[in-house]
Amino acid sequence: MSTDTPASHNAASVQRFGFLLIPAFSLIALSSAVDPLRLANMALGRKAFEWVTVGLRDEPVLSSGGIRVLPDQVMGESSRFDTVFVIGPNPLPKHGYGDTTRWLRQLAAQGVTLGGIDTGSYYLAKAGLLNGYRCTIHWEDRETLVEEFPEVFVSSRLFEIDRDRYTCSGGVSPLDLMTFVLRRPPGGRELAQQVSDLLVSHQRSQDENQALPMRYRYGNMPEVLLDALEMMESNVEEPLSPVEIADYLKVSRRQLERLFEQYVHTSPSRKYLEIRLAHARLSVLRTTRRIDEIALSCGFAAPAHFIARYREVYGNTPMAERLALSRAEHSASN
């Protein structure tokens, strides 16, 4: 492996970014991270930023959408970077982190700023490079990161910048992260705003959370119904009864039921069950927690009852779904 120093240590004024593409990476995440740099160069009228894609091997990398991208270089060929981002896959693999971990640690030792996009922060945590840092990850994998790396503070924000670690969630959140990064030299707030204007988007704040608040997802519903749904989302482990929810909102139980039937097309109890099971399913598919632990954390005192309701909604038991996912991942890796 090369032992070149970071580009920021050289006389060149161009900042160099590397994007490590893990198989099954998100194309929209890659383009959302690169385009702000391209537009920044255009706005400045000069080449202030450059970027290269990096692969694990000298071969095209298959994205999650089935499109192959030929990387500019292979991991370890050069470490002449100011910043390197890992664009993580979905789902996370069970093994195969060794080479990536060694390269990331080498970069960290050289003072290169490191980042994670989508599930990329899991790779940084796996390498021990997020200990004592604040970070974020795609909301589907937050519980996995929290469970496996208790020494890492994991937020639910769109992106996090903590010293020399930049992390963001999936989708188009790299746009928000990169435009925020562009506020720093040689850019500035004016450059970041120009890039946002060219992208026909607004700069979302670092304080914004990934999941849309309930009232944005169901904006056409009465306020009392939004309040009821938010109460359900916030009380998964210890579910409230429909009477308790109605009393708190100062409406009758019958009135609450009518609102649910009119706008949600189901009963309050059924909707609450669906919310709890959705939380449970994320844990089943994204963590290694025991099924009985997941059941308790989602308000089911008896695992047998949880399994029965889970199968009723999803057509399979939690363990069967977990095993099927494991077999699919194993097959894909061979």
DSSP assignment of 48-110? -EEEEEEESSSS-EEBTTS-EE--SEETTS----SEEEEE-BSSPPSS--HHHHHHHHHHHHT
| Sole residue written with tokens 């920044």 | 40
Residue 278 has pLDDT above 50, yes or no: yes
| H or E stretch covering 159 | strand 159-162
Could you tell me which residue, 112 or 158, shows the higher pLDDT?
112
pLDDT of residue 6: 47
pLDDT at 270 over 90: yes
Q: Which of 125-139, 164-178, 210-224 has the lowest mean pLDDT?
A: 210-224
Residues 6+ apart with CB under 8 A from 143: 282, 283, 286, 287
Q: What is the mean pLDDT of residues 257-266?
A: 93
pLDDT in tens, 120-163: 999 999 999 999 999 999 888 888 898 899 999 998 888 999 99
DSSP one-letter string for 165-228: EEEE-STTHHHHHHHHHTTSTTS-HHHHHHHHHHTT-----TT-BSSPPHHHHTTTS-HHHHHH
- Give the sign of the dihedral formed by CA 110, CA 86, CA 99, CA 53: negative
Question: What integer pLDDT is reported at residue 3 of this predicted model?
Answer: 39
pLDDT averaged over every residue in the chain = 87
Q: Which residues contact 162 (CB under 8 A, 6 or more apart)?
A: 133, 134, 135
The crossing angle, in degrees rounded to 10, of helices 253-263 and 223-234 is 100
Omega before residue 222 within 30° of 0, cis = no
Banded model confidence at residue 215, pLDDT cuts 50, 70, 90:
low
The predicted pLDDT at position 324 comes to: 86
Query: pTM score, two decimals?
Result: 0.69
Q: What is the pLDDT of residues 19-68, one digit of tens each?
A: 999 999 999 999 999 999 999 998 888 999 999 999 999 999 999 989 99
Domains of the chain by start residue, with CATH: 7-198 (3.40.50.880), 214-333 (1.10.10.60)
